[in-house]
Structure 1
Amino acid sequence: MNRIVVIGAGQAGASLVAKLRVLGFGGQITLIGEEPAPPYQRPPLSKAYLLGDMTQERLFLRPESFYAEHQIDLQLGAPVEHIDRGEQTLRVGGKVLAYDALAFTTGAIPRHLPATIGGALSGVHVVRTLSDVDAMAPNFTAGRRVVIVGGGYIGLEAAAVAAKLGLHVTVLEMAPRILQRVAAPETSAAIHALHEGHGVRILVSTGLDRIEGETHVTGLRLDDGTLLDADFVIAGIGVTPATALAERAGLMVENGIKVDAQGRTSDAHIWAAGDCAAFPYRGTSMRLESVQNAIDQAELVAENMLGAGKDYDPVPWFWSDQYDMKLQIAGLNTGYDRVVVRQTDARSHWYFAGEKFLAVDALGDARAFMVGKRLLEMGRSPDAQALADPQTDLKSLLRA
């Protein structure tokens, strides 16, 4: 194998090509990205970068010179137009590239508010790319009014930044509580209280009827007829995997590009990793949207491209910065039937299905996160009563 092409120059794509060189692959590597910027970190976009605490250059995962120094052909601002699986070629920028192995690391795309309710008006933003954040950044000045549609992590991180900068912030959530899809009521309530303590107004069980304005947003009409004045709007209503190119190429797609445990798609010469990939996980199909998954899965795919034959079996973990509090999550809480609350000088919520430990939400509690993650890696379930006792040394649970 002499020619590897990677489509998608985000965290997963950058990790994959770098790993190939670390493993000693000496053939041609091409990394193709639609955006004009070299691979960069996305999590700080809605936090440090939006606050002005991080420059654009500091977002870059590696200096742009890294790619040339490692003989990686980095093609930016270059959407792939067509893939011919039979010929093992693709067309980009009017040129045809041949590949021996191809990888999709195309990530995900944000859901937009429908144009039929005003989602196409000027002043309605999403948070995903550098250009998205650059477009909304001038609005973040004290005294302006922002309405954030969606009470998920991205919307809440943007709300925290806006509140810090002195804006009037309202969060709209259709569900009865924020974070309902991903967190227990205990975590939702703690994050809700944190935001309200910083002056954010959160409206739950609240639907949006339409966005008002002729060319630029002026307000939002709720489903009960209430009008909220707004200078701009942020839609934080989730993402969908970027699979359009894979679908056109005839690959199997099911809530992501379907891959086997080693990251191979329905075409033996094509692989996928990161937010766009749906992989088998403990009897189901899983797609994880996290930095760590993007790195770990991409690096494993790099190994498997070179013949390692390793299966991917992660212990998922995530984080979200909310003001000065870091929420760290280890594991997946799917199927939990009870939550054990541990309150010391910090707080953590431990998810169980029966006696089986599934996941932990650590709210400003790095030790709880690290112990919970290690317990999951060990396949061990701690005693719930000991967990709830603030006198219990968490590290002792690793020795139990």
Structure 2
Amino acid sequence: MKLKNISVATALLLALTGCGSSGGGGSSDRASSTPNNEIRNDQSTQDQASQQQAELDKLKSQLEQAEQKVADATKRLEAETAKANREAQAKQAVQQELNNAKTQLAQAEQKVADTTKRLEAETAKATSEDQAKQAVQKELNDAKATLEQAQTNLATALANATKQEQKINEFNELIKEVVGNQQGDGSTIGGYANTQIDDLPNGLNSAPYVVIYAEDGQGTVSGGYATIYKQNYSVVYGRDMRFFSDSLNAPNNFRIEERGFSGEKTTALPSEGNATYKGKAFTSNPAAIIHSGDLTYNVDFANRTGSGKLSGFSGIGDINLDEGRIGKTNHGAGPNYGVASSASMADGTRGEYDLVFYGPDAEEIAGNAYMYKQLDNTMRVNGGTARKYNQKDEQGNLIRGTHIGFGGTRGEIQK
């Protein structure tokens, strides 16, 4: 639109310029007519020329303004074009930079993936090698442990063989002694005589024993190990039966026998005061070793009562010796003072016990407890002992429980 206005102004300027030149020629021709007319014509022509000059000047001014506007517009257009070019170039540069960044990112991601894959492969290889190494090491350790165990077992077997040979020799010598000393139909020969027990030290002792049952000239030999708890005035011993020479049933059983030896029986108890007896308790277990615990028994001589407990057994809870009254008993070596009462455990297991006082002033007690079930890690009693206590289960079967021997020595009487 601006260029169109400039073109129109230019055309008008040219037209006016042409008219001015033509008017001058006509005046010259008319001047030849009359002077007044000439004067008027001259004035008119000058006025027209002045007017045309003014218009021409105006048009020139408009033209200059239009040209300036065109120049300004052109300059702005060039500036805008340059700006657009720069922005396009910048956009292209940014796009190129973005494309380059995307390419680099893709390359980096691929490199990371490749490196990760290699790392996983190396890790798996290392893990496999480490596992293989650990497996070999474990196999080696197991082999060493097996070897050590085999060596230990061999040493144990050799030691057991030596002990077994020694025990067999002891049994053979004992059998020879028993058979040489006593023979006869219907007699029972114990493995120990009183004189042999007298030779033992006080405390817990263990030794082999042999018993011969003879009938009509045919003998049955049984044997095992005796656990003997010896005190100054009393002895408690249990027999752990391990073998028979005949086809008798149920070997491997245990029973307690109790006797008083080498001293006066208690004929008169203290009449006042309290005292505590302390000593040992014992039973047997499948390993044929002494299974021992502790005895604590409290006596009130004035009220003629006693109670205590057996404790300290491995794998067996405490056994309470419930309170009972002191009275006369025929247990052991004839009539004597003693206590017979119930026994109990925290898990509800029931039983019974009896004991006898020994020594001129009741210095010792010796007795046994029978629990109405076979306790863990113990030997069951033999059939004769089970029939003696005559406890049966819900099906009416005879219970073969656990037998425990005990003995203790009195402390000072507290009055």
Identify the TM-score tier after normalising by the shorter chain.
Answer: under 0.3
Question: Normalising by the residue count of structure 1, what TM-score does the alignment of the two structures yield?
Answer: 0.21
Q: Which has the greater radius of gyration?
A: 2
Higher relative contact order (CA 8 A, sep 6+): 1
Higher share of residues assigned helix: 2
